[in-house]
Amino acid sequence: MKPTGKKVKKTTGKSAKISKKDPKPATQRRKHGLALWIHWEIQSGSYPNAQKLIAKFGGSTDAVYRAIRHLRTYHKLPLEWDALKNGYFYSEPIGDVSELSLTEGELFAWVVAHKALTSSNDGGVIARRLRDSLKKLSALLPDEIVVNLAELEETVTFHNATQSLDRPEIHELFVNACKNRWELEIFYETPGKAPAWRVIRPYSFSALPTGWYLFADDDNRGKVITFYPRRAHEGRRTGKTFVRPKFSVAEFLKGSFNVFSGDGEYNIIIHFNKCVAHRVREKRWPGQQQLVELPNGDVQLHQKLTSLVEVHPWLMTFEGEAYPVEPPALVERHACTLQKMQGNLKGKRL
């Protein structure tokens, strides 16, 4: 992001600057916002009410009242109602109202969000949009409000060693499909299998700690499953739309280890040696859990999960200092993996 060479001044609603002219085109109304148009009208002394404001500027009754609340709470303006004249007025002289009032803390929050997305897996598409919006935000500020984005960015840092290779067009398609209830056909690659076309109905495109995931009803499986955007090589609309049922990502993932939910119910016990026990104690792990401390300093983690898919890869990160006790399916998979590793290394000089 290029520095703007500007710094932020904290402003109040009564001190920043606004033009007094009253441009008429609809594009200008959209640019400045309904609240500012209402401010201009009230400041002219015409004592407008909601009906008059709607007739002049358009919008709904709710929109007008939201704008009035915005003038009172955000800009702190002395906006009152005159029962005799049936309209709004300012009860005391006021200064100018800014088109965009922004504190350094508020802008800093935007910068933190941008940096977090930039450093996270698959954050590139939305991070680029946020970066562009920051540039627009800086450009819209009045002359006396200045922003040094580069300086603010230097005060916060996120680091992620790996970055997923996202496809912007796929992210865009998934976002729009969730918003507009589009049925999609995607050319999707399941690990270990050749890519194939799948018909899906996207419910939610969600940012989780390990990246972005699409939760969609899959025709092949006849249920909602988790899709990883990077594995979708192509995507297109089928031309159909659908009615989205009530769906909660949190509820769907309840009982999963991370992002892949299953239909099973597994009572899992994993034994951790003393040298890695602290890594287990320091976190709250997914699912219903119980941590059992053993006399020699080892620990056993008891969990109830709906799927084993993500448990074994996590177990391998402990480099032999952890092993499964239950269920048998997890014990067998762990043993098979160790045998494969031994076979791969057989005859090689270590």
pLDDT tens string 160-173: 544 555 678 888 89
Query: Last residue of some domain: 222, 250, 278?
Result: 250
Residue type, 244: R
Give the residue numbers spanning the domain of 34: 26-90
User: Average pLDDT of 190-214?
Assistant: 88
% of the chain beyond a pLDDT of 90:
28
pTM (global) more than 0.85: no
* Crossing angle (nearest 10°) for helices 34-43 and 50-57: 120
- Higher-confidence residue of 289 and 340: namely 340
Cβ of 7: how many Cβ atoms within 10 Å? Answer: 12
**Domain identity same for 133 and 178:** no
Domain boundary among 204, 221, 250: 250
pLDDT band at 6 (very low <50, low <70, confident <90, very high): very low
Report residue 145's pLDDT band, with 50, 70 and 90 as the boundaries: very low
pLDDT at residue 134 greater than cutoff 50: yes
The candidate with the shortest Cα–Cα distance to 121, out of 157, 161, 158, 163, is 163
Q: Quick check: is 284 in a domain?
A: yes
Does some domain include residue 16? no
- Is residue 10, in this structure, part of any structural domain at all? no
Q: For the residues 223-244, what does the mean pLDDT come to?
A: 93
210 part of a folded domain: yes
Same structural domain, 237 and 201: yes
For 58-62, 168-172, 250-254, 259-263, which range has the lowest pLDDT when averaged over its residues?
259-263
Structural domains in the chain (count): 4
Query: Does 134 or 6 have the greater pLDDT score?
Result: 134
How many Cα neighbours within 13 Å face the side chain of 286? 19
* pLDDT confidence tier of residue 295, bands split at 50, 70 and 90: very high
d(CA 260, CA 227): 9
Q: Is residue 56 part of a domain?
A: yes
pLDDT of residue 93: 82
| 34 and 67 share one domain | yes
What pLDDT, on the 0 to 100 scale, is given for residue 16?
35
For residue 30, what pLDDT is reported?
41
Same domain for 340 and 275 = yes
